[in-house]
Every structure is written in structure tokens, then in C-alpha cells.
Chains A and B, each alone.
Chain A
């Protein structure tokens, strides 16, 4: 059973950097059958996908995709030694106040290619306030 456990501060001041970590158990951050995502949810913006990181051994390469809404401010990094991945969001503002989730996007190749978010972290409420 895959489990994702999030950690990180819940209160930030404007202009600070948001840093969250998601520890993976039951799978590997380097798995070819998965991508590792960050998603946030707020009353004003709803569910918002932020980005993902994933490894593909056929290219021996890590990939990152980021939402245009946060591109330039966001970094998602894998840490293979600790089997975890992290989110950094720079220059936060009150508009970044949300519950942040990490999530596994499983990639199944059975006939076609199926992908969906199947396991989620517990969520971290991050409040940005002066």
C-alpha cells in the first residue's frame, strides 16, 4: 500500500518561500510507473494542479512539468536518497493560501496508457499572512 506523508510549515509571511516535503512509502520516487505531483485547493481557486516530477529509465532522465500559473516561482525536486519529493514556491502572497497535497499519478500501460491520481498525502494547510 502506497502512503504519502507531507511535512512543512503552515504559516508564512508574504514574500517568503513555501517548502513542503512528501515522503513516499510503498513505492519509489524513481518508479517508471508513476509521476509525483503537487496539487493545492483553496475556496477561491478550487483544485489547482501545480506540477510534477518523474523519472524515465529509458532516457535516464528526470522530467518536470509546471503549471503556467506558478511557472517561474515553483521547483519540484526528487530526493532518491530519502525517497521523497519536495515543493518550493517562491515569493508567496496571500493568494497562495491553500491546502497543499502531494499525490502519486500512476501510469499504467495495459493496452493503452492510463494515468490518474491514486494516492494522496494528508494535506497541509499553508496560510500566507503578514
Chain B
């Protein structure tokens, strides 16, 4: 069971806006930054959001991140078929002295 909690699945239709949530605690999200990674089958995860809401160069602005207290969200607007993937949140945990990941949310584009 992951320290960061995510819903196992989400779905949306092309063009729609979907939100994926991540719930943590004071020792991780509440005290450090949140990261979001996208993983397509057979490939390594790819960073979408770092430092709560920053997009690395090359990541479309359809992806946005936010954080409030001990929870965080990833929003995807203008949903496209290629967005179908598993999305993971991550954070540093002060109690565990290491990075932790959420269990992942599988996004299906209907």
C-alpha cells in the first residue's frame, strides 16, 4: 500500500478536462514538493510536473499541477488519445528519508 494515495483509474473523452488527485501527509506532500510522472506501457516514467506546478520544457501546457496542504492534483485539459497512460504522483518523505510514489492512476481516453 502506497504512502501517497491515488484513485486507481480515471477516464475522459477527447477534449475534456480531467483531474487526478494524490493524497499524502504532513511528512511528505505537506512539507515538500510534489512531482507528477506519466508512464506508457513498456517505457520508463516521464516527468510532467515538478516542484508542485512547474513544467519541464517540452511538456505541453495542457498539463498543470497544484498543491494544497497534504493533497495535490494533476489536471489535463484538451484530453487526447495519447494521454492514455498511468500517472504517478511523487514526493520526498521526511519520515522515511526518501522519495515515495503514489500507486498510480490509469487514465483511459474513451
Contacts and interface: CB of A to CB of B under 8 A. Distances in A.
Task: Give the dominant DSSP class at B's interface.
Answer: strand
A118 B96 CA distance: 23
Contacts of A39: 99
Contacts of A65: 97-98
Contact of B101 (A46, A103, A118): A46
Interface in A89-130: 101, 103, 112, 114-118, 120-123
Interface residues of A, number: 22
A2 interface: no
Interface of B: 2, 35, 37, 44-47, 50-51, 54, 56, 88, 90, 96-104
A11 interface: no
B48 to A, nearest CB: 10
B98 A101 contact: no
Contacts of B96: 67-68
Contacts of A121: 44
Contact of B98 (A46, A47, A67, A123): A67
